[in-house]
Homo-oligomer: A and B are copies of this chain.
Amino acid sequence: MHLTNQSIKEADRIFRLNLINSITGIKPGNLIGSISENGDENLAIFSSVVHLGSSPPLLGFIVRPEGDVRRHTLENLLSKKVYTINQIGESFIDKAHYTSVKFEAHESEFEQCQLTPEYVEGFEAPFVKESALKMGLEFREILPLMNGTQMVVGEIVHLIVDDKAVAKNGYLDLSEINSIGISGLNTYYRLEKISSFPYARKEELPEFNKG
Contacts and interface: CB of A to CB of B under 8 A. Distances in A.
Interface residues of A, number: 118
A112 to B, nearest CB: 7
A28 interface: yes
Question: Which of A20, A151, A194: most chain B Cβ within 10 A?
Answer: A20
Contacts of A130: 211
A210 to B, nearest CB: 8
A74 interface: no
A124 interface: no
Given A155-B5, A179-B25, A200 B53 contact: no
Interface of A: 1-5, 8-9, 11-30, 47-60, 62, 87-88, 90-95, 97-103, 112-114, 130, 133, 135, 140-141, 143, 145-147, 149, 151, 153, 155-163, 166-172, 174-175, 179-181, 183-202, 205-206, 208-209, 211
Given A18-B169, A50-B50, A191-B192, 13 more contacts: A1-B166, A23-B51, A24-B30, A24-B59, A50-B62, A51-B62, A52-B145, A92-B211, A94-B209, A98-B200, A98-B206, A140-B146, A188-B197
